[in-house]
Amino acid sequence: MATKHVDNPDNPEVLAVVLLPSAAERRRREVMLARLMLLAADIVLSGDPLGLETGRDLIREVEHTFPELAIQRDNL
């Protein structure tokens, strides 16, 4: 015997609630990511090696800007 919520597409089961960032927060994140990409490109184009410490710093900055990425990486 099937339950009502499975048979009724007009009443879907809610499995989780996800908070989405505001438009201003998304824009701030995009700008920060663009700055990090420019920094990495500048280092590489200047002929300097990126280096392990610089790579780690860039990853830390990305995880600070997008904390959900750090959570996903920790779950791997």
**Residue 74: which H helix or E strand, with range?**
helix 67-74
Query: Cα–Cα distance between 66 and 57 in angstroms, integer?
Result: 14
Q: How many CB atoms lie within 10 A of CB 40?
A: 14
pTM over 0.75: no
* Joined tokens for residue 25: 């927060």
Q: What is the pLDDT of residues 6-61, one digit of tens each?
A: 556 666 666 667 678 889 999 999 999 999 999 889 988 999 888 889 889 988 99
Dihedrals φ, ψ of 54, to 5°?
Answer: -65, -40
pLDDT at 1: 47
Please spell the DSSP secondary structure of 22-33, one letter per residue.
PHHHHHHHHHHH
| Domain boundaries defined on the chain | 22-74
